[in-house]
Chain A
Amino acid sequence: MTSERNTDIEIRLLIEAIYLKYSYDFRDYSGASIKRRILHAMRQFDCRTVSSLQERVLHDPGMFLELLQYLTIPVSEMFRDPGHFLALRTEVVPLLRTWPSLKIWIAGCSTGEEVYSMAILLREEGLLERTIIYATDINPHSLERAKQGIYSMQVMHEYEDNYRKAGGRRDFSEYYTSAYGNAIMDASLRDNVTFADHSLATDSVFSETQLVSCRNVLIYFNKGLQDRALGLFHESLCHRGFLVLGSKESVDFSAYGERFEPLVRPERIYRKT
């Protein structure tokens, strides 16, 4: 019991130290998951206690970058939840067409799978040319990988299945070239993509947008931080703009429940009221 209590204290101190030293704010992340990830990192780095991990992180910025890879969860796939992308195509795209130019914010873009999925969808709908996509994340390594757009061929075969279920109209392999077991995404897909470092916990709104996509990010936040993020999205979105969330996320229990209305509720597509 004592050691458990010590661990809890040490975790709070580590998170505070990270905030003070590196300005990364994990203080309002969901406790259970962040604790597991810190303890996992501690074992990987051969630290006996969280305090010893803290000492290394505080005195070695390189060490912090390594820890950051454990604290963020780069689990993503292209056209994840195909029904969601199908609904975007059939229900949202016709409305997006009414704007002469579009700005889309993909918040928490991780290693880029959501970005390329969105870009492919927009290209097939003839909208990519007039769209600017802002793809943001707190993890510089993930952003770098997103920019490179290189994925293993093994997963591409799974994504191909998603793509087809999501209403994809072409041969999925048209969007990449394969080399050495990897798929290199067609670079023209990211001609209009701006990748940027942005934190939903500490940064503010940077542009007006017509659509915000933030999928499987809010589940890692506590209620207060979820409300902060939803507030940013609300502020960024233009009149009647769209908000799309992950399959287990919703605005229902948030402070913004009344300020978004469901457009396709099961697919977590909302519209600013």
Chain B
Amino acid sequence: MNSVRAIVIGASAGGVSALFSVLGALPGDFAIPVLCVLHLPDDRHSQLAEVLQRRLRRPVREALDKARIEPGLIYVAGPGYHLSVERDFSLSLSQEEPVHFSRPAIDFLFESAADAYGSELLGVLLTGANEDGAQGLLRIKQSGGRTVVQDPREAQVALMPEAALALHDPDHILSLSGIGQLLATLEPSAC
């Protein structure tokens, strides 16, 4: 029950430090792949993988089109393209219209990952100033996956977690440190 095959994380305003906090809690040998969509201005976006890798001292990659998702890696969506997970557990990029003014959109990552991983997915929605991700998190839940929302009282900007809570009751509502602890206990599910 405590095993998952992939983790998806979404955040916008205040998201960089929240992401550091959550990912920083993972043990060095953490094998579950983590896919992240963060809303950022395009110029800052392009360095996100590099910055995360330096600070976390773990392999972080910008998500590339058609790349196979590898265990033990953290992927971040680059600027200007939506990021999706395909049924064969590879990544794909697309340039459809922005969703909630955002490209990449958290909803697109979450919904496609829910289709690919079903009940073996865990979705986390953190601080943010718009409603992107709420619908996607609901889809993860409907597909049998587990959902985690950052406690809006703690979130730097509460709108994103609140929008998620308005749509469904997640499995967990936790502080950033609580989310880090929860993720650290997860086991990769056998393929």
Contact = CB atoms under 8 A, between A and B. Distances in A.
Q: Are A and B part of the same complex?
A: yes
B95 A75 contact: yes
A32 B65 contact: no
A219 interface: yes
A248 B66 contact: no
B64 A248 contact: yes
A89 interface: no
Interface stretch (B3-11, B82-90, B159-167, B183-191): B82-90
Interface in A1-31: 1, 4, 8, 30-31
Contacts of B75: none
B87 A73 contact: no
A99 interface: no
Contacts of A141: none
A265 to B, nearest CB: 14
A36 B105 CA distance: 13
Contacts of A222: 66, 86
B97 A75 contact: yes
B85 A37 contact: no
A198 interface: no
A249 interface: yes
Interface residues of B, number: 26
A223 B92 contact: no
B76 to A, nearest CB: 14
A226 interface: yes
B78 interface: yes
A253 interface: yes
A223 B66 contact: yes
A1 B93 CA distance: 26
Contact of A30 (B67, B92, B142, B144): B92
A32 B115 CA distance: 9
Contacts of A216: 95
A23 B112 CA distance: 27
Interface in A208-223: 216, 218-220, 222-223
A202 interface: no
A220 B84 CA distance: 11
B30 interface: no
A33 B96 contact: yes
Nearest to A216: B95
A235 B169 CA distance: 55
Nearest to B92: A30
B90 to A, nearest CB: 8
Interface string B106-145: 0010011001000000000000000000000000001110
A220 B81 CA distance: 12
Nearest to A39: B111
Given A1-B144, A4-B143, A249 B65 contact: yes
B47 interface: no
Contacts of A32: 84-86, 92, 94, 108, 112, 115
Given A1-B144, A4-B143, A33 B115 contact: no
Contacts of B81: 219, 248
Interface in A179-231: 216, 218-220, 222-223, 226
Given A1-B144, A33-B84, 17 more contacts: A1-B143, A4-B143, A30-B94, A31-B87, A32-B86, A37-B96, A73-B94, A73-B95, A75-B95, A216-B95, A219-B65, A219-B81, A222-B66, A223-B90, A248-B64, A248-B93, A253-B67
13 contacts: A32-B84, A32-B92, A36-B108, A37-B96, A73-B95, A216-B95, A218-B65, A219-B65, A219-B94, A222-B86, A223-B66, A248-B64, A248-B93
Closest 4 CB pairs of A and B: A32-B84, A32-B112, A33-B94, A30-B92
